Structure formats: C-alpha cells, structure tokens
Structure 1
Amino acid sequence: MAYNVYHVEYRLGLQDPLMPAGERFHNVLFVETDPNGDGRIFHVTGAIADANGMRFEEKMGKRPEDSNTYHQKHYLGQIPAGQYEAFIQLMQSVPAPPRQRIFDPRAMRLVQCKPDGSLYQPGETVPPYMKCTEWVLERAIPALQQSGFLYPDGIPQEQPAAETQQTQEDMSEWTWDESRQKYYYYNYATQEYVWSD
C-alpha cells in the first residue's frame, strides 16, 4: 500500500505587504491517506515576527480541492504506507522558519531582523524572507527527495514489501546537521548513521 504526496497551494486572505510583489499562496505538503482523497497536512504556521518564528504543524485535511481557498496541487510521488511514520519524523525534523521581523521603535515599523531579534547592520547580507512557501520548496521537498522513500513515479510493483517497510526499531528520526547541510538518522539494525545525499 502507498500514499500519494502532493505540494498544495491555498489562496491567502491577505497578502503580506512586506513581501516582494506578486501573489503568494499558503504552501503545504499533503499526504492522501484515505481512499476518498482526505489525508494529512504538513506545514508551518505562525508569523516570522513571533519570538520563536514559525512552527511545524501536522493536522487532518480534507481533499484539497474541497477547500474554498484551494488554488492548485502538484503530485510529488508516493511513499510506502510502512514508511509513513518515518515521513512524519522527517517532516518534524525540517527546521521551521525562524524569527525574521521585529518592530523597530526608531523607524516605527516592522523591519527584517536576525533570528535572535537583533537588527542587521550596514554592510551585512540580509537574506530573503523564509515563510511557508520557502519551507516547502527549499527545505521539506528536498529533504523528502533525499530521504529515499519518495517514489516520484509511484512505488515499483516488483519491489518486495519487506524492502519498502522500515520499523521504528530499525530507524530513529531524521535529524538536520547544520554543518554538513544534510539530514541523517541512526539505523539501529545496522548500527550506523545514514546520511541523505
């Protein structure tokens, strides 16, 4: 058994006036776990002005097309049902966007800041904002593609079920290594660390 995975975009009620021009959408990963098209939503919520930044959330989701704010969805592939728990752990390990804005009383407006709330100084490189779209496109999807359990063309029929399933005894959760810019987990069966490509 396999679950379809989609990148889904929903229309926003209000556009962020501090973001570059152009319409933006709320981006999520959606795993279709029910034959009727319902499933689970994986995304980040909150605001980049919050002291802790945005946060990861997993929740039940109806078939995306049934939402009043549905814009479009993109098929990413399938994951084996036996690796769904590993998928959840992987998504939980993808760093959520940190704090990136703070109210500057001198300027009397919101300004871009570092994750610790300090302001960028003249000459410092100010990175582009990271919100839900960037989290999905630049972090979550690449992590999923590197995980080894996303099959873009669907799960091959000739693949034995034993190879598509990995129990929690075999694998611990995926963890992000900032210095190597890669995900890894400890495989208890082989007693070694496994790194993403």
Structure 2
Amino acid sequence: MSNLSNSYYSVYRIENKMTMVDPEMPSPRYHNTIFIETWEDGYKSGRTCHVVGDLVTGMTYNTRVDQDPELDEMFFAKHFLGFLKAKDYPDRLNEILEVLPPPPKQKSFNPKSMRTEQHKSPGVFYEVGEERPPMVKCTEWTINQAIPALIEAGILMKGG
C-alpha cells in the first residue's frame, strides 16, 4: 500500500482539465477534487471526493471509488496534502464533507439581457457596473472548505 502504515492513507488534491471553460471565470481553471489513495480497487486506486454540477443549477457533493487519477486523460496535477486516518475512512470522511454547503446556483437566464448572468439570488441580477463577488466552484469548495474541514476535524494530518 502507498500509505504511511496500515493505519493511514495518502491524500491528494487533484486538478483535472475542464471540458468546458466558463468565460466569466479567471483562467486557467481546473476541476479540483480530493483523492484518498486506498488501493481498494487496484493499483493506486482510491476514493474521489468533490462537488459536481454547475453555476446555473448549483452543485452537490459526490464521492466514488476511482482509479489512479493520473490515468485520466483530463489529469493535470496531483498535490500531496497529507494522511487520512484509516479508521475515519470512508464514514467519518463523508460525514464531514456531506455537511459542507456546496456551491449554490449563482447564474441564471436574464430575460432583460437575453443572457445567462451572475445573480444576487435567482431573479435578482446585478446592475451594469455593480460590484459582483467572485463565483464559487469546485476549486473554492475543495481548497477553502473541504481540506480545512478535514484538518480541523483531525482526520487529515498535513504532510510535508
């Protein structure tokens, strides 16, 4: 196994290229996930934890057993985060990540402009020139919410 001992799993942040890029988001952008390397379904396999969806419908938490992320044709980068206690996999891991608010619906069709635009809330659009907060997608959920929550819960021990 590729873990520190039989009681820990290696954890990575994975960046995958995106098939469709949102022109309103700063580029380059990658789909960010958390990958726990457990070898449960073969060499370097494990579990992918991430949010899926888009800014028009909103996002939801998703987890799945997955193959080595470096084999994915959309793979871009792999960043070592640390170690996950095996006793916390997968139940405690999912318990923590499932309660984090996923990125909500942040864009909808504006009949006035006949375009899909960022909104304050569905049906309430920003005026021209009005300051808009940055939109939140998988990257922000993974880096700003999920990873800190796992560290704070004490199940992800940061690596060197």
Mapped contact 2:33–2:48 kept (Cα < 8 A): yes
Amino acid in structure 1 at the alignment position of 2:159: D
TM-score by length of 2: 0.86
The answer as to 2:36 corresponding to 1:31 is yes
Question: Which residue number corresponds to residue 21 of structure 2?
Answer: 15
Gaps of 5+ in 2: 1-6
Amino acid in structure 2 at the alignment position of 1:45: V
What secondary structure is seen at the aligned counterpart in 2 of 1:114? strand
What RMSD in Å do the two structures reach over aligned CA positions?
A: 1.9
Q: 1:86 aligns with which of 88, 92, 104?
A: 92
% identical equivalent positions: 38
Post-superposition offset of 1:116: 4.2
What secondary structure is seen at the aligned counterpart in 2 of 1:148? coil
Compare relative contact order (CA 8 Å, sep 6+) and give the higher one, 1 or 2.
2
Q: 2:63 aligns with which of 58, 61, 78?
A: 58
Question: Which residue number corresponds to residue 144 of structure 1?
Answer: 150
Provide closer, same or farther for how the CA distance between residues 146 and 117 of structure 1 changes in structure 2, counting only shifts above 3 A: farther
Question: Which residue number corresponds to residue 72 of structure 1?
Answer: 77
Give the number of the structure whose residues are more often strand, by fraction: 2
Gaps of 5+ in 1: 155-197
Provide closer, same or farther for how the CA distance between residues 124 and 88 of structure 1 changes in structure 2, counting only shifts above 3 A: same
What secondary structure is seen at the aligned counterpart in 1 of 2:158? coil
TM-score by length of 1: 0.71
Query: How many pairs does the alignment contain?
Result: 151
Kindly name which structure, 1 or 2, has the bigger radius of gyration based on alpha carbons. Answer: 1
Provide the rounded CA distance (Å) in 2 between the counterparts of 1:153 and 1:54: 29
Question: Which residue number corresponds to residue 12 of structure 2?
Answer: 6
Question: Which residue number corresponds to residue 131 of structure 1?
Answer: 137
Provide closer, same or farther for how the CA distance between residues 60 and 110 of structure 1 changes in structure 2, counting only shifts above 3 A: same
